Amino acid sequence: MSGVKHRVVIVGGGFGGLSAAQTLAGADAEVTLIDQRNHHLFQPLLYQVATASLSTSEIAWPIRSILRKRGDVRTLLASVTGVDTVAKTVQIEGGPPVPYDSLILATGARHAYFGHDEWEKFAPGLKTLEDATTIRRKLLLAFEAAERESDPARRQALMTFVIIGAGPTGVELAGAIIELAKISLRDNFRAIAPEEARVVLIEGGQKVLANFKPELSEYTLGALRRLGVEVELGAAVTSIDADGVVYGDKRIEAKTVIWAAGVQASPAAKWLGVEPDRAGRVRVEPDMSVPGLPDVFVVGDTASITMPDGKPVPGVGDAAKQSGRHAANVIKARLAGDTSAKPFRYKHAGDIATIGKRAAVIDFGWIRLKGWIAWWAWGLAHIYFLIDTKNRLFVAMSWLWIYLSGQRSARLITQGDAAKQVPKGE
Amino acid sequence: MSGVKHRVVIVGGGFGGLSAAQTLAGADAEVTLIDQRNHHLFQPLLYQVATASLSTSEIAWPIRSILRKRGDVRTLLASVTGVDTVAKTVQIEGGPPVPYDSLILATGARHAYFGHDEWEKFAPGLKTLEDATTIRRKLLLAFEAAERESDPARRQALMTFVIIGAGPTGVELAGAIIELAKISLRDNFRAIAPEEARVVLIEGGQKVLANFKPELSEYTLGALRRLGVEVELGAAVTSIDADGVVYGDKRIEAKTVIWAAGVQASPAAKWLGVEPDRAGRVRVEPDMSVPGLPDVFVVGDTASITMPDGKPVPGVGDAAKQSGRHAANVIKARLAGDTSAKPFRYKHAGDIATIGKRAAVIDFGWIRLKGWIAWWAWGLAHIYFLIDTKNRLFVAMSWLWIYLSGQRSARLITQGDAAKQVPKGE
């Protein structure tokens, strides 16, 4: 090696990329982590930013600050535009290509609209901090516009919130929005009663939280309905426009629609020139490397991988962390002379989702919990997984405050001129 | 009055408008508070959002939430476009005119560029939450771009931060930026040493904090220089462009310039059809009403008023609060049958400014403090003046955290694609 260190380039500072960087500590390598944003984001709590419970800085940390004590890691804020697998470089916008000896692509996923990209402008999804503040702005502006609207039908459309997709994100959003309306906004308006807001959760399948055990799915359905959420099952959405949603043979007038139904992997497959799977993901070997490109690894939501038991690895944060760690360990082993390709084994820690601020469902396999005890376990688990002590403390205090007072402190309409953005009822 | 209540319309939910609304509690009136934003902002701490110490939600509160227990107050999110003083209505965008019997205009001020409006795009000012996140983004992106820049001169321009105007805002920004570079960003970069950043404070006059007692001005100048801030006095800026600033016969290459030098009142004078003073403010009678329009009051930064001793009332938050309260009390007295026009008497509580995180200057008249003891007094005073208990607690904890660890938690680059916004060195 003549003193030149092995260069590892990681693209993406989410759960997968960050855990890869952390696993490479102590390896005889120079690591470059490239991300188009300056922050690592704790996505599981993003819905709480969207619903004004937490502020943006409580769930995001500058990547270079997380890695500041790692002199072997360089952090680069840049947009990747492609990968040259022959020259072994990563192309970035406005800068020279970044050479690699090993490459880990951990670029995550965006929401997908099943071939209906025109729906995106009416029904934003929730993947980034900007998505969350956009949804927060839409939610809060809808109530502001309703307060100014005199026509009852238009007012009702402004106070109707539709969430499409009843996986964990959809369920958590529905519970949080109805509690925002019924508790946090109470007494705030004079012309409208925010507690009369309708929250409609539309799901194409027959169950909410379809990946959970049937008992927990059923409990969640009941808990949502007790909160006042209208749940529509077996309802495939066929059209979305600025005024509402069509599903099955029904139309619902709603000025605010949120998409929580599908995701599409990032363009990593295009960069590599390989054929993606239906969700845009790169099919990888059991060791997370790309077939024919042993020095290139794809991890997390960008990778398509099936376990020996035939089950696909789910697109959750923990799977991203585990696969990022695995790719880093394969590189470390190679640097130590061990080139046997150890296969990735995903360990499913469990499924977890909250329904409002007093109930949750947890399935850790060996234990299943539901109700308030699951809610407390959910809260403690999420606080534990936050990046640093300050955020653990602040998120815990924010939750305690909301729990006791009902008041949410992050009810800000930002980005541009709020008054000019008030939607019209017509 | 035949059972119809007196209608008071307040335009602006800043210190002046909010204190007017609060003073009107218990009056036999219906109050409407109109603001183009949904939040009241604690402007004295805005520079801490701009320098990544506090998050936006720590210094801003939804106006309708602050007033939720006041059934007599209606809050309206709307842009005011004019006032009809004959029909006695306030015109708003996209809605019917709002009729008033008494009107209080408390619309504040924006920064002014002394006839050089073309400077605004190179040197943003600091008045709103969006201004603060814009400046935060510029500051953080400059370091990101410097990390990627190989040319030493361009790198130096990226790491040079110029603040124009050495009043409290300029002094506080300069201290906070140099500490951001020297303490919070330490060890975060590999190609640059952020502690080598230059912070240049340019002031046209001969003193920093010109309104303070000479002894405190001189102390502040020394404290800034000890921190490493380059202070240029008697230096009138003659040109600002994308690459730097010209003052006197010197030019400094700097990619980040912040304007803290002048303000201009909001368009209230235009709405009323009266001749404004040089700073765009409306000249008012001693009772804060507009000459010839006894039912219209102008308060805070939008009003031009001189005390009997010939001194102008300064454009500070406390003066806005006091004048808002005065206008509300005049209306209350009239409703109770007392039409004597009581003159406003401004009581100057004191001057206060911080220099970084270990020094401050305070002049309460009966007591003058400087150094660390003033810093603690400053912190306690500001926490006390925050709107609610939760924010008091959170801001206090955030400060304690930064004080002990040096780590700032709000170092987020948001609004759009961070990587695409990295400024070019050339």
**For A85-115, how does the pLDDT look when each residue is reduced to its tens digit (9 = 90+)?**
999 999 999 899 999 999 999 999 888 898 8
Nearest-CB residue to A38 (from B69, B77, B418)? B418
**Ramachandran angles phi, psi of B69, nearest 5°:** -85, 0
Q: How many CB atoms lie within 10 A of CB A10?
A: 31
For residue B183, what is the nearest residue in chain A, using CA coordinates?
Answer: A65
Which pair of tokens denotes residue A139? Answer: 């939610």
Q: How far is A362 from chain B (nearest CA, A)?
A: 30
Q: How far is B188 from chain A (nearest CA, A)?
A: 5
Is the CB of A412 less than 8 angstroms away from the CB of B38? yes
Q: What ipTM was estimated for this complex? A: 0.87
Residues B293-320: what's their mean pLDDT? 92
d(CA B227, CA B358): 10
Q: Is B372 on the interface with A (CB under 8 A)?
A: no
Q: The domain spanning residue B267 has which CATH number?
A: 3.50.50.60
Sign of CA dihedral B401, B407, B408, B413: negative
Whether residues A29 and A147 share a domain: the answer is no
Residue whose entry in the numeric block shows the structure tokens 């004295």: B44
Is the CB of A93 less than 8 angstroms away from the CB of B420? yes
* The CA-based dihedral angle spanning residues B393, B394, B399, B401, taken in that order and rounded to the nearest 10 degrees: 110
Which pair of tokens denotes residue B146? Answer: 């410097």
If contacts are CB pairs under 8 Å, which of residues 90-109 in chain B contact chain A? 93-95
The predicted-structure confidence for A332-366, as pLDDT tens digits, reads as follows 999 999 988 789 999 988 888 999 888 999 988 88
Nearest-CB residue to B148 (from A76, A187, A188)? A76
- Nearby residues of A181 by Cβ (< 8 Å), 6 or more positions away: A143, A159, A194, A195, A197, A199
The predicted-structure confidence for B241-261, as pLDDT tens digits, reads as follows 999 999 989 999 999 999 999
- Nearby residues of A311 by Cβ (< 8 Å), 6 or more positions away: none
Q: Give the residue from B302, B335, B368 where a domain finishes.
A: B335
The predicted-structure confidence for B47-60, as pLDDT tens digits, reads as follows 999 999 888 988 99
- Say whether pLDDT at A267 is over 80: yes
> Which residues of chain A neighbour B133 with C-beta distances below 8 Å?
414
Give the angle subtended at the CA of B425 by the CAs of B171 and B227, to the nearest 5°: 25
Whether residues B330 and B377 share a domain: the answer is no
**B48 within domain boundaries:** no
d(CA A316, CA A352): 11
**A290 within domain boundaries:** yes
d(CA B401, CA B392): 14
Whether residues A329 and A220 share a domain: the answer is no
Whether residues B101 and B16 share a domain: the answer is yes
Q: What pLDDT score does B172 carry?
A: 96
Is the CB of A79 less than 8 angstroms away from the CB of B417? yes
Could you tell me the pLDDT band of residue B331, with boundaries at 50, 70 and 90?
Answer: very high
> Which residues of chain A neighbour B405 with C-beta distances below 8 Å?
390
Kindly tell me the number of DSSP H helices and DSSP E strands found in chain B: 11, 25
Question: Between A315 and A98, whose confidence is greater?
Answer: A98
d(CA A417, CA B130): 9
- Say whether pLDDT at B421 is over 90: no
Whether residues A314 and A246 share a domain: the answer is no
Q: What pLDDT score does B415 carry?
A: 63
Domain count of the fold of chain A: 2
Q: The domain spanning residue B160 has which CATH number?
A: 3.50.50.100
Q: What pLDDT score does B1 carry?
A: 44
Q: Is A129 on the interface with B (CB under 8 A)?
A: yes
Whether residues B27 and B91 share a domain: the answer is yes
> Which residues of chain B neighbour A62 with C-beta distances below 8 Å?
188, 411-412
Residues A354-382: what's their mean pLDDT? 87
For residue A133, what is the nearest residue in chain B, using CA coordinates?
Answer: B415
Which of B412, B415, B417, B426 to substitute to test the interface with A, most A CBs within 10 Å? Answer: B412
d(CA A63, CA B413): 11
Least confident of A7-16, A191-200, B47-56, B285-294: B47-56
If contacts are CB pairs under 8 Å, which of residues 182-211 in chain A contact chain B? 186-191
Measured in Å, how far apart are chain B's first and last C-alpha atoms?
69
Element (H, E) at A75: strand A73-77
Is the CB of A65 less than 8 angstroms away from the CB of B391? no
d(CA B257, CA A68): 27
Candidates A149, A172, A179, A203; catalytic one: A172
Query: pTM of the prediction?
Result: 0.90
The predicted-structure confidence for B285-299, as pLDDT tens digits, reads as follows 999 999 999 999 999
**B165 within domain boundaries:** yes
Could you tell me the pLDDT band of residue B423, with boundaries at 50, 70 and 90?
Answer: low
**Ramachandran angles phi, psi of A66, nearest 5°:** -60, -35
- Say whether pLDDT at B4 is over 90: no
Q: How far is B4 from chain A (nearest CA, A)?
A: 18
Whether residues B231 and B273 share a domain: the answer is no
d(CA B235, CA A415): 35
The predicted-structure confidence for A203-219, as pLDDT tens digits, reads as follows 999 999 998 999 999 99
**A50 within domain boundaries:** no
Whether residues B267 and B409 share a domain: the answer is no
For residue A418, what is the nearest residue in chain B, using CA coordinates?
Answer: B37
- Say whether pLDDT at B352 is over 80: yes
> Which residues of chain A neighbour B79 with C-beta distances below 8 Å?
417, 419-420
Q: How far is B244 from chain A (nearest CA, A)?
A: 22
Whether residues B328 and B396 share a domain: the answer is no
Amino acid at B333: A
- Nearby residues of B333 by Cβ (< 8 Å), 6 or more positions away: B339, B340, B342
Residue whose entry in the numeric block shows the structure tokens 């309260």: B325
Sign of CA dihedral A118, A123, A129, A135: positive
**B218 within domain boundaries:** yes
Q: Give the residue from B304, B335, B366 where a domain finishes.
A: B335
Q: What pLDDT score does B338 carry?
A: 92
For residue B49, what is the nearest residue in chain A, using CA coordinates?
Answer: A57
Q: Is A412 on the interface with B (CB under 8 A)?
A: yes
> Which residues of chain B neighbour A388 with C-beta distances below 8 Å?
407
Q: Name the percent of chain B in helix, strand, coil, to the closest 5.
A: 35, 25, 40
| A29 beta partners | A6
d(CA B275, CA A384): 61
Least confident of A137-151, B126-140, B228-242, B301-315: B301-315
- Whole-angstrom CA distances from B262 to A70, B163, B174, B280, B416 are 44, 12, 17, 12, 29
Q: Is B393 on the interface with A (CB under 8 A)?
A: yes
**B61 within domain boundaries:** no
- Say whether pLDDT at A416 is over 60: no
Q: How far is B46 from chain A (nearest CA, A)?
A: 14
Q: Where are the beta strands (DSSP E) in B248-350?
A: 250-253, 256-259, 263-265, 282-283, 289-290, 293-298, 303-304
**Ramachandran angles phi, psi of B295, nearest 5°:** -90, 0
**B227 within domain boundaries:** yes
Nearest Cα to Cα of residue B56 among A130, A56, A40 = A56
d(CA A124, CA A111): 9
- Whole-angstrom CA distances from B96 to A75, A154, A157 are 53, 16, 21
Range of the domain at A122: 117-261+357-421
Could you tell me the pLDDT band of residue B63, with boundaries at 50, 70 and 90?
Answer: very high
Q: Give the residue from A305, A335, A365 where a domain finishes.
A: A335
Element (H, E) at B332: helix B317-335
For residue B37, what is the nearest residue in chain A, using CA coordinates?
Answer: A418
Whether residues A380 and A288 share a domain: the answer is no
Burial class (CB in 10 A: 0-12, 13-18, 19+), B279: middle
Could you tell me the pLDDT band of residue B380, with boundaries at 50, 70 and 90?
Answer: confident
Whether residues B127 and B234 share a domain: the answer is yes
Could you tell me the pLDDT band of residue A426, with boundaries at 50, 70 and 90?
Answer: very low
- Say whether pLDDT at A420 is over 70: no
Q: Is B39 on the interface with A (CB under 8 A)?
A: yes
Q: Is B148 on the interface with A (CB under 8 A)?
A: yes
d(CA A206, CA B258): 56
Judging by DSSP bridges, how do beta strands A102-105 and A6-11 pair with one another? parallel
Residues A181-200: what's their mean pLDDT? 95
> Which residues of chain A neighbour B60 with C-beta distances below 8 Å?
412
Contact A360, A368 (CB under 8 A): no
Q: How many CB atoms lie within 10 A of CB B203?
A: 27
Q: What pLDDT score does A415 carry?
A: 63
**B291 within domain boundaries:** yes
Whether residues A368 and A286 share a domain: the answer is no
